[in-house]
Chain A
């Protein structure tokens, strides 16, 4: 019988990769009887959703004027080298 700590680690693994069917069933069996673990897994799935919808693009963060200038110069130097 798996304990909660093992189920928690296994649940995380199943989000990234596959788990064997034996492990899968042992986990299911545990979840049938453990509401706290069910809740935990539900929350992990939500975290995964947040992370996967997070692309960093819905912010106003932008390159600073100095950084742009520096990149532009470096880029221009390559241009000339390539001519």
Chain B
């Protein structure tokens, strides 16, 4: 992990991204998430995380594209059983979130998952997901948008 990928939060322990390469720039704790994906110059298909070659047409030379933070729920489920090794404590929701023209990304909703519904607007946010040896790791999670019409 390089310094450029670490964000300091005043008065707390050091904060780093669980997977820094997933973000466009340094992720800011509590801020909307801007994800770094790829777009195929040949067929326009979009991917997250980044790839070297297009999964759809096999073309190369994919361009970086910034994705999020707004999307809508394609489907979701509520997980009730602890996955060994996971920092997520049930119950929590797994959501497939469609970001504009794509792609669909998968993440979790930890609070307010009762109001989840297919088609519901969500916002991807940078939040702490793991504390390990005095280190806080952030990633992107989804939050149900205040206004369901926020979806783009």
A and B form one complex: no
Residues on B facing A (Cβ under 8 Å): none
